[in-house]
Structure formats: C-alpha cells, structure tokens
Structure 1
Amino acid sequence: MTERPHAGSSLYEDEAVTEPHPLTQSLQRWTQRVRAFDRRRPLVWDLLITGFFVGAALVDANGGWRNTAPNTHVPGWQVFLMSLGLSVPLFWRRRHPMAVLAMMVATNLLSNWTGAMLQAALIQMIVLFDIAMRLPLRTLGRAGLLMTAPLVVGAVRFPRDSWDQQILPNVWAYALVALFGIAVRSRQDYTAALVERARRLEIERDQQAQLAAAAERTRIAREMHDIIGHNLSVITGLADGGSYAAAKSPERAAQALEAIGTTSRQALSELRRLLDVLRDDAPATAERSPQPALTDLDQLIDGVRAAGLPVRSTVSGRPDSIPAGRQLTVYRVVQEALTNTLKHGGPTATATVAVSYTDHGVTVEVTDTGTGSGGGAPGPGNGDASDRGNGRGNGRGLTGMRERTSLYDGTLEAGPLPGPPGGWRVHLHLPKDSETP
C-alpha cells in the first residue's frame, strides 16, 4: 500500500490518503469486467462455465480417476455417465440451485458406492457457493448435510484410514466454500446498501436544492412586490396629484414631477440591485447597497406624504440592538400597510404609524381612516383587486407580511376597524428574544 499526503490543505496536514495497491486495482477492474459480462450475457457465461467443467470431468473420466479410486473396475460407460451427471447440471445452478445440487449429490452417491469416487464431485462446491450467496442460511445448512451423505457412504463402503480422515477434510472444504460465499454475499449487500444510500442522499440533495430555489423565488417575489407596488402607488399618487394641481398651481405640479423622478430612480435602483442577484455573470465585487432599515422610515413616510396621503408618525423607546433582519421586516410591513392605504383608502384617508421599542421587542401599529372603496389618495387608481378582498386582506401583500413576521416568531394582525368611522389596522409585534434565522 502507498500513502500520499494531501498537498496544500491544512485540514489534513497530519493525515494521509491510502491508495490501493496496483495488484488490487487490477483485480478489482478484472472482477468488475467479469460481473459486467455476466450481467449482460448470463447464458453465455453459464455455457462457458459449464463447458469448462464438463471438459475437465470428461478428461478425468478418460482414465485419470483410477489414480485415486479404491475400485478401478467400474465400467467406463458408467464413469462417463457419472461424470456428465456431476458436471452438466451446473448450467441450471442459478435458476434451480437445490435441484441441481440434489442431482449432483445423487450422482456422487452412486460414484462413492461403486468405488469410483470421481474428482468431478468437487464441482458441487460451485453450486454450494451459489447457494451461500443467494439462498437463506437454513437452506445452506440442508445443502451441507446433503453433500455429507456421499462422504459417509464412501467411508463405510471403502474404508481406507480412519473415518474422520475420509470425511472431515471434505467437510472443512465445504465449510470454507460456504463461508466464502457468505462473505461475498455480505460484501455485495454492503455495497448495494451504500449505493442505495448514495442514491437517497442525491435525491435529498436535489430536493433540498429545489426547496431552497423555491424559497429564494418566494423571497425575491416578495421583495419585488414590496418595491414595485409601493413605488408605483407613490408615483401614481404624485402623477394624479400633479395633474390636478397643474391648472391651479404650476409650482406644485413641478414639485410633483420632481418627486416622481426621484421615486422612479429609487425604485429602479432597488429593482436593479434585486435582479443583480439573479445574474450568473454578476461580478463578485459588485456594489451591495444596504437593505432599508428603521432609520429609513422617515424617508418612506415623507414619500407617502408627497403622494398625497397625510401620515402622522410617533416613536416611543429606542431601537437598541435590533438586528437588520427585524428592521427590514418592520420597514416592509409599514411600507405595505401605507401602500394599501394609498391604493384603497380613498381620497379623504389619513394614516397613523406608531412604533414602540420595549424590552420585549418592537411593536408597530399602522391605522388609517380609509373607506376601503379603492378610490385611493388623490387619484392613485384602483390598485389590485386581489389586495382588496374584504377591504384589502387577501392579496400578496398581506401574505408577504405574514411570511416576514413568521421568520422571527412574531405576530401580525390585519383587519378593518369597527365603523363608523371605520378604516384599517395592521398590528405587528416582533419579540426581542426570538432566534435570528
């Protein structure tokens, strides 16, 4: 055996890789080729094996058997037939192993009874090996007892030395062949188990990859919904408000156009940053902009106000040590709640955003006085009817908010306020002691 240490790896600097000996590699390659040929053409292989041993048995029947036989006067035709009986059945050993063994044992029983004691009886060991590889152990035990019967008959009919010297060596040979067959069978079962385990692991790996891809697609769809939905709602509100003010106050119209340009550029920048993640050829050193955080809430609220929705915000407590993931969740929930108010609150709607930081986590409540009719703030259009539902509650936005909240074991409540005056309420709570995913 040769050992080759890993190069350039500190993890394995004290270990060595053991390579198989060239002779072992050659033997493994030869064995694999033989097995592959056997699997492709089993009948051809059986014919080759059977033909070889039939030839060997007939060569021994030509006169060599007299060198070891206690009775050399057995007729030649009988020796020829017994040689065929001990070799020809080998062809059916895989399909009917016990029947083949019984036929060969009967022939061997006749051989020992007559005193020929043909060496072709050793071919029985091939059948015994197949039985050890393929059949239950209790069948192997019966096969061993069956093969011992001719040995006892020969020892009784033609005693030469002590009975144990005539029987035990053959029994030991049978036992070694059976053990070898069991060892090969165990090795094959172990290899098959490893192959099956590798197949299952490969399937599990593919399933995990598919789940990860699905989760990533969901995350990207959620981000795109939040980015595009909010910014388009703001742009629509600004455009409608600007067209309304153009006739009476050109300066307000110019401000609306400027705000539209700013919001559009911001939305385009966020969308490009998100889509860059999907590019296979994206450079590793590409610029990475930070995700929105709690410090960006004021800018978000100012943009909604510019779109025509009056928003009052209050903050209590201090956002000490709130992880970035929770900050993004709070930001997106507030963004989605205000976007829905822009879409569906009606022209007279107002909104209130209350953020509270405590020792137990962060709580956000967004309420509005919208009628839920889909009229929007000064003209943001009707929006997506799927977001409206029974007032706004059945669309992708609410689903995205719930998914984000569940990542941090938080709670989210969304629903209409009792009227009059009515309106809509979104309540979010993220516990401080929840584990960061």
Structure 2
Amino acid sequence: MSEKESIAVSVIIPVHNAAGYISDTLSTVLSQTLNDIEIIIVNDCSDDNTLEIVSALAETDSRIRVINNTTNLGGGGSRNIGLDAATGEYVIFLDDDDYVDNMMLERMYARASDIQADVVICRSQSFDPALQVYAPMPWSVRQELLPDLKFFSSQDIPSDFFRTFVWWPWDKLLRRQFITSHQLRFQEIRTTNDLFFVCAFMLMANRISVLNETLISHTINRSESLSATRAESHRCAVEALVALKAFICQQGMMEHRLRDYKNYVVVFLEWHLNTISGPAFHPFYQQVKEFVVALDAKSDDFYDEFIAAAHHRITTLSAEEYLFSLKDRVLKELEFFQARSSALQQEVETLTHSFAGQKDENAILHNQLHEIEERVTEQEQNIRQLTEALLNKSDFG
C-alpha cells in the first residue's frame, strides 16, 4: 500500500477567526480512535491568532497540516483547497466549531469499508454555547423517507429526495475518488456554498448508508458565524438552487425529480425569508418571488398543505404583506405555545398534588403494613409459645 493510500480519512477544516474555540474542536478530532487520519486545516486569512494556535498544534502532531490562504476564499473555496491537498480514501469536511465523538471516524469508516459505501451519514445534535444546551436534530436525516436497506442510492428514494437530508457536509463521510472522478467542487459563494456539492454527490452516489448513531455536535447561534450574517449574502441561496437545477438537468434527472425540486425550493427559500431581517429582506423577497413563480407549480405538485400554503404566500403577497403574514403566524404560534405551556403547567401541578396525595396514602399503607407485621409477629410468638406448651405436656403425659 502506498503512503497516500494508507490514509483512511482526510479531515478538512476551514478556519477563520476561530481562536476562541478551534483548540476545543481539534482536541475532539485528535482524540479519534481511528489512527490513519490526516487533518488539513485551511486558514482563510484569519486576523486573530488562529494561525498561531493551529501552527503550534501542527508542530506537536504530524497528522496536522496547515494551509494558509493568501486571499480570503470563504468556506467553499477553502474546502476546495483542502480537497486538492487530501490523500485519504474518504474525506469529511468539518466546521471550525464542530465537536465530534472520539469514535466518529472509526465507526463511519468501518461502515464505509464494510459495504464499500460512497457516503456514510451519521446522526447529529446541536450545541448552543451560550445556553450550554445540546439538542437532537432528527430532521437532518428523515428516516421515514428512507428505504429499509443497509445501503441504497437516490433512485431508491421515490419522492421528496431533497428533504430527506440536510445538504451540509459535516455529518457525511465521502469517498474521495468519487468526488474527483465526477469533478465536484464547492461553490465559491459566501454562504450556502455546500448545498450544490453535497446534493450533487448524493444524487449520483450508488451506495449511501445511514449510521443511526449521534456522533457530532454542531454549534448553533454563534453570533459571528456566517449563518448568522446571511443578510450580507442573501442571494447565495438562489445561486445554489440555480446551480443545482442545472446539474439535475445535465444529468437527465429533472423529469423524475422536478416535483421534489419544486417542493424543496419553496421550503428552503421560505426558511431563508423567515430568518433574514433588515434592509436585505425586500430585495431578497422580490428575487425569491420571481424564482418561485418561475417554477410554474400547481396545487397538486406539493406534498402537503404547509408547502402549498407557503407557495401561495410567496407568489401572491407583497413583501410588506408577507411580513404581516409572518408576524401573524408567529403570534399565533406564540399563543399556541403559551396555551400549551399553561396546560402543561396545570398538568404538572395536578401530578404534583397527586404525588403528594400518593405519598400520604403510601404513608398510611406503610403504617397499616407495619401494624399487620407486628400482629403477625405477635401471633407467631403465640404459636411458638403454644407449641412449646403442647410439647411440654406431651413430655409429661
């Protein structure tokens, strides 16, 4: 086996101004139980001391390689740089604030090797650093849409393919040769640069396998993250969808996946509309509206009433009307959750009183049981005394 082939997994991590947490991220990667790994850190023009931190770690661990971009390329371009430098049989792209289970790569690589998978996907959870709260992310893999098979291809998912997974790369172990043979590259756009790459890979993959183990924690709600500043690059979402549509057409898949694509576009873009604020909203809304109208979707194209309702809102309302509609929906959801919270509180109080009553009842039963035990003990003593008396009588009889 050559030196290049001896690397099982290349871990590619673009970093930018991550001095506050990159050491924690790398400690979880360096503690992997899979030994044959390389860690490629692409420093994308950090202006804090991120480069000094990762360079110092590289001096102490030969598995780490640091690439220092001379110009700012963003996440997509930096991942491409890391991919070009990778030598592993498989690659995984992590964010600089992800935290991985120490057996993540061993478990995923074992599955990949066992069935010669093109991609292995694990379960994930979110981590909010401000609240120090972990939460499951069941929607990252929609089990109900998957075939009951150890491995499958996109063709085995008959409908709603684009909502089966989330198109980020950090929960997916990808065969590197498959990437290079299909000349796949991340889009070099500020945000949403992973959607096209991951989705195109998954559409073409012949052996997809899901490992139902939560092996990675993805950090959310970090104020300085790109996802938290999408208003500065709101057009990237549409650019990614345009590239995806062109790829689907090029691969001759559009006839089979057109309905899936329409549903995904509506859901994906409404999520962006609902999470972008400020002056970027109005121009982005107009762009989204034109894009969704151009889908030429009919009412029976949608998989459920919620997507149909979202399509109706986007295609018929002005930006101002949409904002009022969003406010109304948020208020209704708030009322629902407040009512639900009140009902749950009442249920808790009822259970508390019931438990207190149960405790009193248990105390009474305990006392009664104690009295019965005392009477039983007394009767046993009486029986022993009578038995002894009878035996004594028989001795003198």
Identify the TM-score tier after normalising by the shorter chain: under 0.3
Q: TM-score, normalised by structure 1?
A: 0.20
Q: TM-score, normalised by structure 2?
A: 0.22
More helix by share: 1
Greater relative CO, 1 or 2 (CA 8 Å, sep 6+):
2
**Bigger CA radius of gyration:** 1
